Amino acid sequence: MVWFIRPARADDVDALLVLAGQTGGGFTNLPPDREALARRIGWSCESFAREGALPQDELYMLLMEEAETGRIGGSAMIFSRLGGEWPFYTYKLATVNQTSKELGRNITMEVLHLTNDFNGAAEVGGLFLLPELRAEGLGRLLARSRYLFMARHRARFPTRVVAELRGWHDAEGNSPFWDGLGRKFFEMPFQEADRFNSLHGNQFIADLMPKYPIYTALLPEEARAVIGKPHDTGVPALKLLEKEGFIYEGYVDIFDGGPTVFGYIDNIRTVRQSRALPVADAALPEGGAVTSLLAKGTLQDFRAWQSSAAETAQGLSLTASETELHGLHAGETISHVAA
């Protein structure tokens, strides 16, 4: 099987709905709702077609397609600039030290501060791969294709990029963080709030949540224990993000308490190490091991895949079958980075 990454199209909505039905709770970027998915694809198509380079409020949705069958096996997204339509909120976990000389005691407490620290940053999200494909190493291609897109369209993105990971919830879909904090103000179960969030965004939470610092000691132990803890299925994604250079500094999602990590785009490993080279005339022998992630084209013509490749004096050599499959020609500039 040969898989490649391409922009989403309007006729992908049914395939995307199949993906969305397998994500489980808390995956707000892929709501299991056909109309909502159609709107997101429309937003993405408009973003790819937009002229002008500076980031506004774009969504770039990428899908992983099997070349032989057209089957869609995964999705990944990039939001060009957070805070365009409404402020982007996160909690920042901080510590407060208080001392009483009379009692001779020093107390350290953790506090959640509501912040807009990432307004204006880009966001990578919407990463989902069908479970049966996760043992084939395709998750790395899907995740890193976003950074190759950013490298090939650098002017369309700001300085920083963030990633929000799903917070921990139990097998029944209950979120201890939501139950310990958010539910106190909204009087709705996590599943109902989760669906509303996936369809309409989390602005409703920001509108009604308290704006004052929240001392975590006042939360139930179950809620405190999952602050900054990703869902079990998100642990591999977190490891991939960390390998790219994302860091966690106490920022958590206001909805489910999952970690929000961030990095500087020019320091992201795939962006920093990717090289743009012309396709060489000389072809590599067939059957070599996968050595590179590659990308060609711009905007609607963007495509990423993984293959064997070798730098030569004439440029980047690929196998003849890869050159034919991806419609490459000698001298065409493509990007590559070690797999």
Q: How far is CA 17 from CA 124, 139, 164, 338, in A?
A: 20, 19, 22, 33
- Asked whether the beta carbons of 217 and 109 are under 8 A apart, the reply is yes
SS3 content of the chain, % helix, strand, coil (to 5): 35, 30, 35
Among 231, 326, 329, 336, the one annotated catalytic: 231
Q: Which alpha helices (H) appear in the chain, and where do they start and end?
A: 13-20, 34-49, 138-152, 176-177, 183-186, 190-200, 203-208, 221-225, 235-244, 269-273, 320-325
HSE of 53 in the Cβ direction (CA atoms, 13 Å)?
A: 7
Contacts of 102 (CB under 8 A, 6+ apart): none
Kindly provide the residue ranges of all beta strands, DSSP E only, lying in 191-339, ordered along the sequence: 214-215, 247-252, 259-264, 275-278, 292-296, 303-307, 310-312, 315-317, 333-338
Q: Look up 169 and say whether it is catalytic.
A: no
Residue 322 has which token pair?
Answer: 């890869």
Q: Compute the chain's Rg from CA coordinates.
A: 22
- Asked whether the beta carbons of 1 and 66 are under 8 A apart, the reply is yes
What is the set of active-site residues? 231
